[in-house]
Amino acid sequence: MSEVRYTTNTQIEQLHARYTGTGHADMTKYEWLTHQARDTYASIIGHAPLLSYVSLADGESLGRTKFEMLERMLQPCGPPPPKEDE
């Protein structure tokens, strides 16, 4: 039984190491939303047709759209909420 638990935990740790946005039990709503927004921006920037579509819809150049999305990745959901001390 402990062998199964060890391999499951190891697989989960490897998954989290490879894909940082997969989440965990202690993740806050703000962190989850931030990961989702950054993943969306990275996907749009990484796929040329999507970037072209967004830039055309905004009426901006490809370079300007890419730059603005990269800037939005810094704090996509605004500043983090204040932490509550336990």
Q: Would you give per-residue pLDDT tens digits along the chain (86 residues)? A: 455 666 877 887 787 777 766 677 778 889 889 989 999 999 999 999 999 999 999 999 999 999 999 999 999 988 988 887 65
Decide: residue 76, CB within 10 A, 0-12 exposed, 13-18 middle, 19+ buried.
middle
pLDDT of residue 15: 75
Query: How crowded is residue 75: how many other Cβ atoms within 10 Å of its Cβ?
Result: 12
Task: Please give the pLDDT value at position 21.
Answer: 62
CA gap 71, 2 in Å, rounded: 46
pTM: 0.72
pLDDT of 12: 76
Predicted pLDDT at 6:
67
Enter the tokens of residue 32.
């989850």
Q: Residue 9 has what pLDDT?
A: 77
